[in-house]
Structure 1
Amino acid sequence: MRLKGFTICSGVLRAGMSLGFEPVEFMESVSVKIIGNSMWPHYKDGQVVDFNRYNGEPIQVGDIIVFNHPFRNEMLLVKRVSTISENSFFVEGDNPDPTSSTDSHNFGSIDISSIIAFRHNHITE
C-alpha cells in the first residue's frame, strides 16, 4: 500500500531576551526543509526555503503557507492557498498527482490561527 506523501518542514524559531523580561521573537524569516513531493515541481524534496514569519499580513490565493497540521499540531505542512473564505483557507499541494499530497481535500480548510509563515506567489509562467 502506498502512503500519501507529506510536504513537511523543519525550522528553528529563535527567541531573544529583552533586558531580562519576556522573550521577544526577532526572526523575520523561517527557513524550512521540504520533506516529500507534494509541492513538486516548485519545491523539491530536501530543498531549504525561506518564508516570512506570519504577523497578520493579508494572505492571498496563490500564496504558499507554513501551518500546523489540523489534527497533528506537532507537524508542520507547506501548501498553496487555493481558496479563501473569511479567516479560513483551502490549501493544496502543487504536485499534479492527487495521491501525492495530504491537504484540504483530506482535512478541510485551515484556520488563520494555524499559519506560521508565508511566501507570496512566486510562480512566473
Structure 2
Amino acid sequence: MREHVQERDRERGQEGDRERHGLLRIGLAEVYNPSMVPTLLPGDQLIVQYGAGVRAGDVVVLRHPFAQDLLIVKRVVERRAGGWWVAGDNPYVHNDSREFGVVPDELVVARALARLRPPPGAGQRSVAGLVSWAAAAVRPVRSGRGPLGWLAGRSARSARSSSRRLRAR
C-alpha cells in the first residue's frame, strides 16, 4: 500500500511538471449543439488550449454560470466589468451572455485553436469525397477583430463561414 501511495505521488509530481511546461495544456472538446452554427456544427471536435489567454473574437470552452458542471462553447465578444461577454454565432440560440450575463475569468476553461470536422458517413466514400473532406477537415478557429468589429461584422462573417462550410462539404 505504501509503495502505491508513493507511486501515485510521484505520478502527480510528474503531471505537475508537465503542466508547468505546457505539455498537458492541449485537448479535445466536442460540439453538441447548434449555438455556434455556421462556424461550428454539432459533431465537430475542437483542439483547445487550457489556460490560454483570451481576447475578444476567440472561441472558448467555458463552464455554464448556472450549471458549472456543463461545458459550453461560445465566442468572446468583449471584456466587461466582472468578466467576459460571450455569444454564440447562431443568432437564434440565446444560451449565452444575453441569458446569463458576464462570465467570470475562472469559468473560462480553454481557448479553441482549430476545428476538426468528422469524417463523412457511409454514403460518401468516393476518393474525391474523402480528399475533399481531408482538405477541409482541420481548420483554424478564426478570431474576430475585437468587440466592435465582431459585433458590426457578425452577419458578413457568418456569410463567409457559411460559404466555407458549403465548400468543405
TM-score, scaled relative to structure 2: 0.55
Helix, strand or coil at the partner of 1:38: helix
The alignment status of 1:118 with 2:111, answered yes or no, reads: yes
Please say if 1:49 is aligned against 2:40.
no
Q: Does 1:106 align with 2:102?
A: no
C-alpha distance in 1, partners of 2:41/2:88?
12
Identify the match of residue 94 of structure 1 among 78, 85, 89: 89
Q: How many angstroms apart in 1 are the aligned matches of 2:80 and 2:47?
A: 26
* Distance across 1 between alignment mates of 2:67 and 2:111: 20
Matched, 1:27 2:18: no
Give the structure, 1 or 2, with the largest relative contact order (CA under 8 Å, sep 6 or more). 1
Q: CA RMSD in A?
A: 2.3
Name the larger-Rg structure: 2
Which residue does the alignment assign to 1:77?
72
Listed as ranges, the gaps of 5+ residues in structure 2 are 1-7, 114-140, 144-156, 161-169
Q: Higher helix fraction: Structure 1 or Structure 2?
A: 2
The answer to whether the Cα contact below 8 Å between 2:62 and 2:108 also exists between their aligned partners in 1 is yes
Distance (whole Å) between structure 2 residues aligned to residue 101 and residue 39 of structure 1 = 11
User: Aligned partners of 1:77, 1:65: CA distance in 2, in Å?
Assistant: 8
- Aligned mates of 1:101, 1:30 — CA distance in 2: 27
Aligned-partner residue type, residue 142 of structure 2: H
Q: Unpaired segments of 5 or more residues in structure 1?
A: 1-16
1:12 corresponding residue in structure 2: none
Aligned positions of 1:2-13 closer than 5 A: none
Consecutive aligned runs of 4 or more in structure 1 exceeding 3 Å deviation: 20-23
Identity of aligned residues (%): 25
Alpha-carbon distance in structure 2 between the residues aligned to 1:41 and 1:21: 40
Q: Which has the higher strand share?
A: 1
